[in-house]
Chain A
Amino acid sequence: MDGDRIIVKKILLMGNPNNGKSVVFNRLTGADVIISNYPGTTVDFTQGKMRIDEEDMMVMDVPGTYSLDAGDKAERVAVKMLKDGDIVVNVVDATNLEKSLNLTVQLLKKKTPMIIALNFWDETKHKGIAIDFQKLEEILGVPCIPICAVTGEGIKKLTERLKEAKISKFSYEDKEKWHVIGDIIGQVQKLSHRHHTFMERLGDISTIPLFGIPLALVILFFTFKIIRFIGEGLIGYVFEPVFEKLWSPLLLKFSAVLGSDGLIHDVLIGKLIEGKIDYGQSFGLLTTGLFVPIGAVLPYVFAFYIILSVLEDCGYLPRLAVLVDGLMHRLGIHGLAIIPMMLGLGCNVPGILSTRILATRRERFIAATLLSIAVPCAALQAMVVGLMGKHMVFGLSVVYGTLFVVWVVLGILMDRLVSGTSPEIFIEIPPYRRPYLTDLLKKIWIRMKWFIKEAIPFVLLGVFIVNILYTLGIIQFVGKYTAPVVSGIFGLPKEAIGALLVGFLRKDVAVGMLAPLALNLKQLIIASVVLTMYFPCIATFSILIKELGFVDMLKASAIMIASALIVGGMLNLIL
């Protein structure tokens, strides 16, 4: 019966980070691609399918590594994946042969059939690099194919020669590695003198603080303008109309079938507000529960993934990480933690998911906690802006200023108190490159699929649990006993507790509920800061449990409540 088994060959794409490996991956695979988590790690990789000569093959985009022995988590996963691979496609950066060959020669020793794709072949010409790829093929003993992944040149040749992949006889002594690499380069590469291009100069000066910091501020400003434009546009013109015009009528019929009342009705539909479904206040699993992740969160996540993918593909993100690393390092996190923070300003959920890029558990805890305390999401920010009305400039300055101080002070404290290590930044800065639309679209598509799979089930579960707590009256009970805190410490009217309770589900709606309370400017500021800090919304909370585990989530929550009490109380005294 063994003959019936379908054996699918596994093709591993391996190479350094930033060498266009994922573009090669996109070229080889179709739309059916998914991001998977390597079991037992925080490392994600992408896989898809391709078909050659009627044979289905699995293509895996192995996490980018520079070496196989430096021991970081991506490398450990790469080494493990290598064991189950049938063919290795080693993507090499032709503009940076020395760095790439370091990994190549280590891969050759692993004795898996291999083929080499020399990417960025077009760029070598501008950079005055001439590589004799046939000679390289002769020396290394595996096929070497020049390609330009973004335009697709050479990809056909690569797939045709895939079956020629073979185990190399090339060998060397480990301590002679760099001599061997130097030797190979001496034989195959000729450099001619040339001047630096404009893009290279721009690449270098955007890491010089005097120019780089103003540039970063301009880029961040436009990032948020564009994200709000796309996010609010999608919500206002697509998601809300779909929910209200198509989904609500169905739910109202369903509500009538359930008899407009009772436990099941309360859990699924929630309360009808004046006979209608209000996605902000009904709190049913099918009403607010579906609307939060899909109607309110997804559009911002989509908008953010667009911008993030553009900044990533053009090579700006590592430069931003370098500019902010000096500050971030004092908060116990890496410059790259700027990515979760930026995502968090759109929606905290993808922000927390993206803390996976950080190397250690300590960094992830600090980043996730700072994010959920002091980084307000786009929906919340939009409501706060609206609430401030004519006091906008002063009010917002105080709110954002306070949150920034909290972010820094809490970070410094956690850096002192949280055990574990935060490694120093050590990353490659790739040259600026033009992003390509097809790759961007595919990347965004893969990320959205991943987000829906990773986040939405947890958010729904969280909403379900809060719903039950509401229906059983537990949350109202907590509210009754915490109302004195709200008035005593924060100086807010007792009714504001209603908003804080709703804030578990949706912070933007909670801010909206403050509007009829006729708060003065001081109270508005305190309420906005406290609402941001006191607790994450249920979507974020669910993801915190998923990513940090229950115990660390409890620690993070304790820090949130304590700092909200302290900061809110201090603002009440100072202002």
Chain B
Amino acid sequence: MNERISLADMQSGQKGRIVQIDGGGGMTRRLDALGLRVGKKIQKVSKQLMRGPVIVSHGNARVAVGFGMTQRIWMEIE
């Protein structure tokens, strides 16, 4: 069984697969529009000071996700 942590707790450079999104339809739809959905493999690129946004990459795309949202995105680390 792989380790399961929130996107917020992942280390920069780590890769993983989104396994669960704890959010309402609004948040899920916003994430979905930028390609973040359950089952998607992503890599955490960087994080910011003061609980700022997290940047993740998938394919050639980079997306900045607010810290509050990253606490509700659950990842399975590879």
**A residues at B contact (CB < 8 Å):** 65-67, 69-72, 95-96, 98-99, 102, 127, 129, 178, 203-204, 207-209, 318, 321-323, 325-327, 329-330, 335, 423-431
Contacts and interface: CB of A to CB of B under 8 A. Distances in A.
Interface in B27-72: 29-35, 37, 45-46, 48-53, 55, 57, 59-69
A178 B36 CA distance: 11
A70 B30 contact: yes
Contacts of A67: 29, 32-33
A70 B66 contact: no
B46 A207 contact: yes
Interface of B: 12, 26, 29-35, 37, 45-46, 48-53, 55, 57, 59-69
Kindly list the 9 A-B residue pairs having the minimum CB-CB distance in the complex, ordered from nearest. Answer: A424-B66, A326-B52, A326-B50, A67-B33, A66-B33, A429-B62, A70-B33, A70-B29, A322-B64
A325 B35 contact: no
B61 A428 contact: yes
Contacts of B50: 326-327, 330
Contacts of B32: 67, 70, 102
Contact of B65 (A127, A209, A426): A426
Contacts of B12: 208
Contacts of A72: 30
Contacts of B45: 204, 207
B60 A209 contact: no
Interface of B is mostly: mixed
Contact of A69 (B29, B35, B51, B68): B29
Contact of B26 (A71, A203, A425): A71
A428 B48 contact: no
Given A424-B67, A424-B68, 14 more contacts: A70-B29, A99-B59, A203-B62, A204-B45, A204-B46, A204-B55, A209-B46, A321-B64, A322-B52, A322-B55, A325-B48, A326-B67, A335-B64, A426-B63
A47 to B, nearest CB: 25
A95 B60 contact: yes
B52 A325 contact: yes
B59 A96 contact: yes
> By CB atoms of chain B within 10 A, which of A67, A71, A102, A322 has the most?
A322
A428 B35 CA distance: 10
B60 A429 contact: no
A323 B52 contact: yes
B24 to A, nearest CB: 12
B53 A326 contact: yes
B29 A323 contact: no
29 contacts: A67-B29, A69-B29, A70-B30, A71-B26, A96-B60, A98-B35, A204-B46, A204-B62, A207-B45, A207-B46, A208-B46, A209-B49, A321-B64, A322-B52, A322-B53, A323-B52, A325-B53, A325-B64, A326-B50, A327-B50, A424-B67, A424-B69, A427-B63, A428-B62, A428-B63, A429-B55, A429-B62, A429-B64, A431-B62
A430 B37 CA distance: 20
Given A207-B45, A318-B64, A322-B64, A425 B53 contact: yes
Contacts of B52: 322-323, 325-327, 329, 335
A119 B61 CA distance: 15
A297 to B, nearest CB: 33
Contacts of B68: 424
